[in-house]
Amino acid sequence: MNDLTPDRLAALKALLEARKSTLLGQYADRPASEFNRTPAVEEIETSPADSASNRTLNQLEAEADEHRLAQLAAIRHALAKFDQGEYGICESCGGPIGASRLDARPEACLCIGCQTRMERRGP
């Protein structure tokens, strides 16, 4: 798996579970679908400047929601790796993901070398 001790693995899993709970708590009273979202700021008839500000605030909130959903997906993926016995293994090269990388980003699914290569290639 990796040079991670069982205690360290348990701590990383607990950290991922805590992050998952935090993210889910942020959605407790809100629908996850962009189409069913209630705007954070109501866009009522006001001055054009106020309307533009309200639209910007709502767009920022929608982007934050997308980011939270992406984080939640990455965390769920990492937690599934524990169940499969594959946590800490790079999904690209099959090598171990360094303990320091997992400490910094416990949801990481690529080793630092593969992550760097992917980022250099671009989207």
- How far apart CA 44 and CA 41 sit, in angstroms, is 9
The amino acid at residue 76 is: R
Task: Quote the tokens at residue 43.
Answer: 């866009």
pLDDT of residue 54: 75
Q: Which residues are 96's β-sheet partners?
A: 89
pLDDT in tens, 2-47: 678 899 999 999 999 999 999 888 877 665 454 455 555 555 556 6
Contact 33, 41 (CB under 8 A): no
Locus of tokens 């708590």:
25
Show the domains of the chain with their CATH numbers.
Answer: 6-121 (1.20.120.910)
